[in-house]
Amino acid sequence: MENKFIRKNYIKNIKRVVVKIGTSTLTYSNGLLNLNRIELLVRQLSDLHNRGIEIILVSSGAIGAGIGKLGLNSKPKTIPEKQAAAAIGQGILLHMYEKVFSEYSKTIAQILLTREDMMDRTRFLNARNALFTLLDKDIIPIINENDAIVVDEIKFGDNDTLSSLVSSLVEADLLIILSDIDGLYDCDPHTNKSAKLFDLIEKITPEIEKMAGGAGSNLGTGGMATKIKAGKIATSSGTDMVIVNGSRNNILQSVLDGENVGTWFKSKNAPLAAKKRWIAFNSNIKGNLIVDKGACEALCSCQKSLLASGILSIEGTFDKGESVSIKDENNKELARGLVNYNSKELNLIKGLKSCEFESKINHNDYDEVIHKNNLVLMK
């Protein structure tokens, strides 16, 4: 078949790779670091770096390393306990990476992020510039969530999501997620020996999400559901993603040699532009605009701007320039965008034509509530 996706052909064009390593790959069940696994992975990463591939490492394990050091028998349940474990474990983890990477003459840098860093446009751009500078200087950035200070309101939730957002941030060619499973199966391989492993996913459909367990499944944080969510972000941003088993020998080399290992998620042919990626996946949603059927059609089928005439109701309080979610009458999210009017003004002009704005709010700065250039469809 002429258009068949062949990994070896694609691999030739890969220059920048984000690798996500989970806690289960880095630590034993008792929380202590798996030193042998870390050394093997660092050696592979260093070898890929020697090939001329830019490497960004998103590493879990800080809380796990802290648990081991604290001598706890299980993962702490409260935020303060997790923060304390992370504060101890982050230093342990970085010291280990520094020690092993230096054996291969590699320089590393640590960057700790919170969701708030990605939601704020200025901080987002600062993080992007810092990472590009590190890569230009041939340094390997190691990124983790800043668990020592993070609270629920600004958590990424899992490092699968963090790694996909970092991939979008740095415009990576490929995201490699190292897991404790070989990839995406059509059902749980732990309970069904006949489970089929998918080699290629060209589009993440509702059926694919259902196979992953969906939200609230017993797979929990770091399960397949979060990896599928990461895949949606990565592929929408123009980054391919592959899920592979991190315990397999030389797995990173196998991926970058084009071998058919794990499950490959193909990126969209027309990825979102940088600003729209930020709107879709990083901006802080401050409210909702409920729109009528005509507006739904204009947005989804015709890729038009959102006009006040199609807005039925406003939810939340927000200022001009902030991000809102656009929903239909059934509360299904259609799009996200940056508003040209604040919530108080929108409550006065909803349902009106632009020529009527001035009589209600004493100005008519924009005909559109959200211009199509600042609007992203969430399909």
CB-based contact 325:289 (threshold 8 Å) = yes
CB-based contact 338:321 (threshold 8 Å) = yes
CB-based contact 221:229 (threshold 8 Å) = no
CB-based contact 175:242 (threshold 8 Å) = yes
State yes or no: 1 annotated in a binding site. no
**Helix axes 274-281 and 159-170, enclosed angle (nearest 10):** 160
CA-CA distance, 91 to 65, in Å (whole number)? 9
State yes or no: 159 annotated in a binding site. yes
How many other CB atoms are there within 10 angstroms of residue 37's CB atom? Answer: 17
State yes or no: 20 annotated in a binding site. yes
CA-CA distance, 263 to 195, in Å (whole number)? 14
State yes or no: 64 annotated in a binding site. no
Tokens 């409550």, residue located: 347
- From 7, 17, 20, 98, select the one nearest 52 (Cα to Cα): 17
State yes or no: 227 annotated in a binding site. yes
Tokens 């990825």, residue located: 271
State yes or no: 367 annotated in a binding site. no
- From 36, 4, 45, 39, select the one nearest 256 (Cα to Cα): 45
State yes or no: 360 annotated in a binding site. no
Report the run of H or E that residue 115 belongs to, with start and end: helix 115-119
State yes or no: 258 annotated in a binding site. no
State yes or no: 213 annotated in a binding site. no
State yes or no: 221 annotated in a binding site. yes
State yes or no: 226 annotated in a binding site. yes
| Annotated binding residues for substrate | 60, 147, 159
Binding residues for ATP: 20, 179-180, 221-227
